[in-house]
A and B are shown apart, each in its own frame.
Chain A
């Protein structure tokens, strides 16, 4: 489904990603871990098409298409969803209006008619249940005045509504209380299917108890320096990153 080959990304002449290789197949869940500032969010944004990122080398192939040739909105319409580490507030724009615009843009791309208002509201109600999100929240402006945890839940709610094929969740677990963590994980698990894939960026192995990954990668200084199964996450939890850093820095 997704094939990243030797991807190098600059931000303002500084190389942040220094040759990423990653292959994700349909039905898989990949976890990406790594110290702060190692480039995890940069990778996520590069996949979603953030424009001030400069891809200097390599390829991103998604469903056989060269992703770098698509605008961010077309990538979304092709089924790529990014759960933001820091969801943005849009004052005065209601969640309902925002999501309706989003869904109908995607439908238009697929050559479908806009969803009638009644059907849309019904869909919202259904999906709200999945993430147990307060009705009140969806009547408010996009993320405005939402608590940290509410913002994260709202990302998963949007994911449930938009039904992406490839979801990239950037630290969606940070700032969630224990109940919310369970709810969010359940939400992600419900959306898991043989056709879809998920990339989870996280600092905590706890999340991976709920959402069991097929592969765990460690990103450090712009490179994937280690990959393994879920036991790798346990190891990191116990020993931290130092041993990996030593390994890598010794080679460099």
Chain B
């Protein structure tokens, strides 16, 4: 077989490989949520008994809960009975050619520098069988398989690695954790599973693959990453391209387990549809992300660039259980027009000599509201725990809001906890200075904002840092002057 044939084979055979069957392709179930619906979802996915039971338990618990209202967010009432909880992954393309796609969307793709083939996938245009990203994806999987790394959809993992899923799913974010975690645990659609065996350094960013796949994971996404002793992985979720979705409500769970000496770097670029300039439409994004540094000397590092969604409710957290373990949170959250974001982190120090760093950069423009909410908790046994938090807010214009809610609970006298916060306005002076050097106002804002967020952007994998910079500029377009 020639290379080309091989690839063709891979691609045409991949429907089967990924377990999508034609008979569920066209199926959706009626609106609403009850035990029956939960059972149907589980049955459609051919899940084992224990998982069906676990979903039902979560559902029953969810019924006893109320939507949290402590966040600095104004959320219209959500009718949970008006949502379809199962829609089979759609394989057909929405459009025949790029000519049919919204030109504004294409313009954004181009300005972000996204390759054409990938643009097609993201926009839902039919693609040729021989496609760069697909061939990349397959060679990619060979390399991973060689190292014993498991990286597959959550559904596949349930089928093929049931023991691992059973052992770790819900071990970091139990279904009892909060309202949205309970909901997700009952009805999660799909997501990713990643397992790095002992002593293995994952040789590449797990990103290209995921970017392509992100489009089909559904509204209740579930991700689980397990890094065994002495392993390392850098993982990137989401993409800079604007993603539209008919589903307004998104409630994802991400769990990370890091064993002794393991390191997990998790980077997110989130750019869901934020709604129009008047604040209509847009995704509600309620995410529970948490990692546990289970073993000594382990490290979990969250980096996020949040520019999308109408409402963001998200607190990637670290439980620092192992001695000498390290938790990091680097965040840029941008809100424009009527967007609202309440985001931050929790660092729970349990082990001795545990260290955590929080760098949060909020940018508010338009009539948006942007809040940082962070908890640093040092338990009794956490001798010599250290935390450094820096929370900066940048305001563009005077109709937006920035808020900081730091919470501290320190139960060990040897702990050292530092917190710094600043609020600044993007200065007319700075913009005029740039103008006077020939730089127009849009570019000036882009320069200034990227400079402000540099500490965080530097933490992103290289190829995404460049896109993220452009993304910040595009998100803030027209917000000053």
Contact = CB atoms under 8 A, between A and B. Distances in A.
A103 to B, nearest CB: 8
Interface string B179-207: 00000000000000000000000000000
Nearest to B443: A101
Contact of B447 (A50, A84, A97): A97
A102 B437 CA distance: 6
Nearest to B440: A73
Given A91-B451, A92-B452, A158-B437, A72 B432 contact: yes
A98 B439 CA distance: 9
Interface string A47-60: 01111100000000
Interface in A8-53: 48-52
Contacts of B439: 73, 101-102, 105
A88 B435 contact: no
B80 interface: no
B223 interface: no
The interface centre, meaning the residue of B433, B440, B443, B452 with most chain A CB atoms within 10 A of its CB, is B433
B430 interface: yes
B458 to A, nearest CB: 10
Contacts of A93: 447-448, 450-451
Nearest to A109: B438
Contacts of A50: 432
B423 to A, nearest CB: 14
What secondary structure prevails in chain B residues at the interface with A?
Answer: helix
Nearest to A106: B438
B120 to A, nearest CB: 29
A245 to B, nearest CB: 31
A82 B427 CA distance: 18
A205 to B, nearest CB: 27
Interface in A91-119: 91-93, 97-99, 101-103, 105-106, 109
The interface centre, meaning the residue of A52, A87, A98 with most chain B CB atoms within 10 A of its CB, is A98
A62 to B, nearest CB: 15
A227 interface: no
Interface string B265-308: 00000000000000000000000000000000000000000000
Contacts of A51: 432
B453 interface: yes
Nearest to B361: A92
Interface string A124-156: 000000000000000001100000000000000
A156 to B, nearest CB: 14
Contact of B433 (A87, A99, A103): A87
A123 B450 CA distance: 25
A71 interface: yes
A73 B435 CA distance: 4
A129 B440 CA distance: 29
A76 B447 contact: no
Contacts of A158: 437
Contacts of B430: 88, 90
Given A92-B451, A97-B447, A105 B429 contact: no
Interface in A57-88: 71-73, 76-77, 81-82, 84, 87-88
B413 interface: no
Nearest to A87: B433
Nearest to A86: B429
Interface string B420-450: 0000000111101111111111010001101
B454 interface: yes
A162 interface: yes
Interface string B396-438: 0000000000000000000000000000000111101111111
Nearest to A98: B447
Contacts of B450: 92-93
Contacts of A88: 427, 429-430, 432-433
A90 B438 contact: no
Nearest to B447: A93
A201 B430 CA distance: 22
B452 A49 contact: no
Contacts of A99: 437
A92 B440 CA distance: 19
B433 A84 contact: yes
A108 to B, nearest CB: 9
Contacts of A87: 433
A106 B434 CA distance: 12
B45 to A, nearest CB: 47
Given A88-B430, A92-B452, A92-B453, A72 B436 contact: yes
Contacts of B438: 73, 76-77, 102-103, 105-106, 109, 162
B454 A72 contact: no
Contacts of A98: 434, 437, 447
Contacts of A81: 436
Contact of B437 (A49, A109, A162): A162
A70 to B, nearest CB: 11
A157 B450 CA distance: 24
Contacts of A49: 435-436
Contact of B435 (A76, A90, A141): A76
The interface centre, meaning the residue of A72, A77, A109 with most chain B CB atoms within 10 A of its CB, is A72
Contacts of B437: 76, 98-99, 102, 105, 158, 162
Interface string A145-179: 00000000000001000100000000000000000
A23 B428 CA distance: 30
Given A97-B447, A101-B443, A141-B451, A90 B436 contact: no
B449 to A, nearest CB: 9
A83 B450 CA distance: 25
A22 to B, nearest CB: 20
B436 A76 contact: yes
Contacts of A142: 433
A90 B453 CA distance: 12
Contacts of A84: 433, 436
Contacts of B454: 92
Interface of A: 48-52, 71-73, 76-77, 81-82, 84, 87-88, 90-93, 97-99, 101-103, 105-106, 109, 141-142, 158, 162
12 contacts: A84-B433, A88-B430, A90-B434, A92-B455, A93-B451, A98-B434, A99-B437, A102-B438, A105-B439, A105-B443, A142-B433, A162-B438
Given A52-B428, A71-B435, A105-B438, 13 more contacts: A71-B440, A72-B436, A77-B438, A84-B436, A87-B433, A90-B430, A90-B447, A93-B448, A93-B450, A98-B437, A102-B437, A103-B438, A106-B438
Interface of B: 427-430, 432-441, 443, 447-448, 450-455
